[in-house]
Amino acid sequence: MRSKLVYSAGLKIENRFLLSATVMRAVRKLHVSSSRTEDTLNRVFADVAEGRYIDVTMPEIAPPPAIDELLVVAPLV
């Protein structure tokens, strides 16, 4: 059953990393300790598949430092 939920949620958020990060954040916020974590997870996947939690965006990627900065070696004293 969960594989169907993951597949349908993956149609809404195509990036797998972004999908898993979104689902993990939502489960952490929505989970009630008296219920099973699996039930909360299934509910979040169903919500994502229905179109909730879709306003996520990829974070900007910072450019790596220049290679010259990485090659500088401090002198041994």
Q: What is the residue extent of each domain of the chain?
A: 2-50
At 57 the pLDDT is: 66
Work out whether the CA dihedral 58, 50, 45, 28 comes out positive or negative: positive
- pLDDT on residue 67: 75
Asked whether the whole model's pTM tops 0.85, one would answer no
Q: What pLDDT score does 65 carry?
A: 74
Residue 76 near residue 70, CB atoms below 8 Å: no
What pLDDT does residue 70 have? 63
d(C-alpha 1, C-alpha 45), whole Å: 11
**Could you state, in chain order, the average pLDDT of each consecutive group of 10 residues for the chain (77 residues)?**
88 89 90 91 92 71 76 65
